[in-house]
Structure 1
């Protein structure tokens, strides 16, 4: 939000001048902030996608299928340890 003061007068005689406070959105600053946040969000999403790929590569390289299944159920599917035990 931005605020400014302008001079104005009543529309009828006697045209007495007075100050009027106006408020509004500074669209340039607002749009710049939105663009900065969008770039930051896009960078974070790219980092997270890279991290997911790294995790998937790690999980796929686990030789023991039981361990791979346990880790997948717990950390990928988000099950509790009790939920993992029910599937194993």
Structure 2
């Protein structure tokens, strides 16, 4: 597994999190549409059935969005547990912390540097080392499984 593949693997959490936030914003917009009250000052009578249909369509959209959000949240929780399990296999607590801050908390190298009292360059170097060690954890796991199978 290359470093780039590892980055993509670890970045999945942030992508799902961003997608959930986008869906929640969309749901909020639809909710605002459903609760918006507009006054009719014209002399023409409005048809209640068309307003009811509109409201029903919006409620259906809200239900659909809620279902999508629930599915994404379930996937996010499962992925977080999976990533945490892989990150915990690293022996070095600094590298574990760095990967968790980067890929689970979504912090930038600058923010991580401030938290860990390192420069951005040091954080970047430690990140590369953590990705390399992440690979070693995988290989050790594969070797252990192979030995047990024999």
CA contact (8 A) 2:90 2:96 kept: yes
* Deviations 1:18-69 (CA, angstroms, capped at 9, x unpaired): x855462423222222111111111011111111111111111112223213
Counting only pairs closer than 5 Å after superposition, residues 31-46 of structure 1 correspond to structure 2 as: 31-46=59-74
The equivalent of 2:117 in structure 1 is 86
The equivalent of 1:9 in structure 2 is none
Distance in 1 (alpha carbons) for counterparts of 2:78 and 2:104: 16
Query: How far off is 1:72 after superposition?
Result: 3.0
Select which of 99, 102, 108 maps to 1:71: 99
Bigger proportion of residues as helix: 2
Bigger proportion of residues as strand: 1
* 57-66 or 74-83, which deviates more: 74-83
Structure 1: gaps of 5 or more residues? 2-18
Q: Alignment partner of 2:117: what SS?
A: helix
Name which one, 1 or 2, has greater alpha-carbon Rg.
Answer: 1
Structure 2 length normalisation: TM-score?
0.37
- Count of matched residue positions in the alignment of Structure 1 and Structure 2: 71
CA contact (8 A) 1:62 1:68 kept: yes
Counting only pairs closer than 5 Å after superposition, residues 1-88 of structure 1 correspond to structure 2 as: 20=45, 22=47, 24-26=51-53, 27-77=55-105, 78-81=107-110, 82-83=113-114, 86=117
